[in-house]
Amino acid sequence: MTANLTVNLTMAVVLAALYSAGFYLLMQRSLMRILIGTVIVGHGANLLLQLAGGPPGRAPILGDAAPEQMTDPLPQAMALTAIVITFALTTFLLALAYRSWVLLGHDEVRDDVEDRRIRRLERRLAESEDDKANEDELEREATQ
């Protein structure tokens, strides 16, 4: 376990690339893209976890290497756990995408219906500056 712990430039760029790509995909509407985005960010996170242990070294297996040469085992164990958890959630999200496709015929995340209603209402209220309209608008919106 060496002293120089700074994540090197190459790895920093990889991290930046993975997180950027993942974040970008996360902000899309296609659930499959979002899902891929989470997978990529997950990869980035797992890599980061591994890197948090320090620079490369020998596998932390007694007998194969001296303890000083070994990489830090704890982040590896945590990365392993994280990998499995990410995998579990990925499959779930995949099933969700599938279910969404079966039910809706697409796998997109559309805007929330109820929020859209309130946005409509907001626009209508902004147009009519009359106070009295308020309650009536609300009731009309609600009962339509």
Partner 1 sequence: MSAFVLVHLLVALALPIVARRNTGMAFAIAALPPAAALTWVLARSGAVLSGDAIVEEVPWSPLLGLEFTFRLDALAVLMTLLVSGIGVLVLVYSIGYFHAGSGDARRSAPLLLTFAGTMFGLILADDLLTVYVFWELTTVCSFLLVGQAGISRESRRSALQALMITTMGGLVMLLGFVVLGEAAGTYRISEIVAEPPGGTPLAVAASLILVGALTKSAQVPFHNWLPTAMVAPTPISAYLHAASMVKAGVFLVARLGPVFVGVPEWWLPTVVFGLITMVFGGWRALHETDLKKLLAYGTVSQLGFLMVLVGQGTYAAALAGAAMLLAHGMFKATLFLVVGIVDHQTGTRDVRELSGLGRRMPALATIAALAVASMAGLPPMLGFLGKEAAFGAFLEEGGGTGLLIDFVLLLGSVFTVAYSARMLWGAFARKPGVAPTGGKQPGAVLLVPAAIPAFAGVVLGIGYPLTDELAGSYAAVYGAGVDPLHLELWHGFELPLLFSVVAVAAGLWVHAMRVPLTALRRRLPKPLDAQRGYERIMALLERTAVGVTGRTQVGSLPTYLAIILLTVVAVPGSVLVYHAHVPADMALHHNLLQIPLAILVIIAAIAVVRAKRRLTAVLLVGVIGYGIGGLFIVDGGPDVALAQFLVETLTMVAFVFVLRRLPARFTKGDAARSLRWPKLALSVAGGVVIALGAVLFSAARQQPPAVSADFIAQSEEGAGATNIVNAILVDFRAFDTVGEISVLAVAATGVASLVLASRFDRRRRSSRGAQATAPAERPGVVLSGNGNGRRQEEEQS
Partner 2 sequence: MDVVFVVTFALLCLAALLALIRMIMGSSTLDRIVALDVIVTLIVAGTCVSMGWLRDGSNIALLTTFALLAFIGSTSAARLVEKKEPYR
Partner 3 sequence: MTVLVALPVLLPLAAAGMSLALGRFADFQRIIGLVVLAAIIADAGFLLYLTDRTGPVVLQIGGWAAPAGITLIADRLSALLLVVSAVVTFAVLIYSIGQRLTDYGRERASTTFHPMYLVLCAGVSLAYLAGDLFNLFVAFEIMLSSSYVLITRRTTASRVRAGMTYVIVSLTSSLLFITMIALVYAATATVNLADLGGKVAMLPEGLQVALGLMMVIVFGVKAAMVPLHFWLPDSYPTAPAPVTAVFAGLLTKVGIYALIRTQTLVFSHDRSWTLMLVIALVTMLVGALGALAQNDLNRMLSFLLVSHIGYMLFGLGVYDVIGLTGVILYVVHHITVQATLFLVSGLITRHTGTVALSRMGGLAKAAPMIAVLFALPALSLAGVPPFSGFVAKLALLQAGIGAGTWSAYAVTAGTILTSLLTLYAMARVWTRAFWGQVRAPEADPDPDDELVVGTGNSTRPMVAATGVLVTASVVIALVAGPLAGVSERAADDLMQGTTYREAVLGGAR
Binding site for partner 3 (CB under 8 A): 5, 7, 22, 26, 31, 34, 38, 41-42, 44-46, 48-49, 51-53, 72, 74-75, 78, 81-82, 85, 88-89, 92-93, 96, 99-100, 103-104, 109-110, 112-115, 118, 121, 138-139, 141-143
Residue 139 binding partner per list partner 1, partner 3, partner 2, none, with a CB distance cut-off of 5 to 8 Å that depends on partner kind: partner 3
Minimum CB separation of residue 9 from partner 3 in Å reads 16
Q: Determine, following the binding rule CB under 8 A, whether residue 95 of this chain makes contact with partner 1.
A: yes
Closer CB to partner 2, 11 or 125, in the complex: 11
**Are 26 and 41 spatial neighbours (Cβ–Cβ below 8 Å)?**
yes
**Are 15 and 41 spatial neighbours (Cβ–Cβ below 8 Å)?**
no
Residue 39 sits at the vertex; the CA angle it makes with 82 and 53, to the nearest 5 degrees, is 40
Which of 42, 49, 7 lies closest to 21, judged by CA?
42
Q: How far apart are CA 59 and CA 72, in angstroms?
A: 9
| Residue ranges in contact with partner 2 by CB under 8 A | 58-59, 61, 64
Residue 38 binding partner per list partner 3, partner 2, partner 1, none, with a CB distance cut-off of 5 to 8 Å that depends on partner kind: partner 3
> How far, in whole angstroms, is CA 3 from its chain's centroid?
32
Token digits of residue 74: 């704890």
Minimum CB separation of residue 128 from partner 3 in Å reads 16
Match 């308020």 to its residue by tokens.
134
Minimum CB separation of residue 9 from partner 1 in Å reads 5
Which of 80, 71, 81 lies closest to 51, judged by CA?
71
Residues in the chain: 144
Residues 8-47 that bind partner 1 (CB under 8 A): 8-30, 32-34, 36, 39-40, 43-44, 46-47
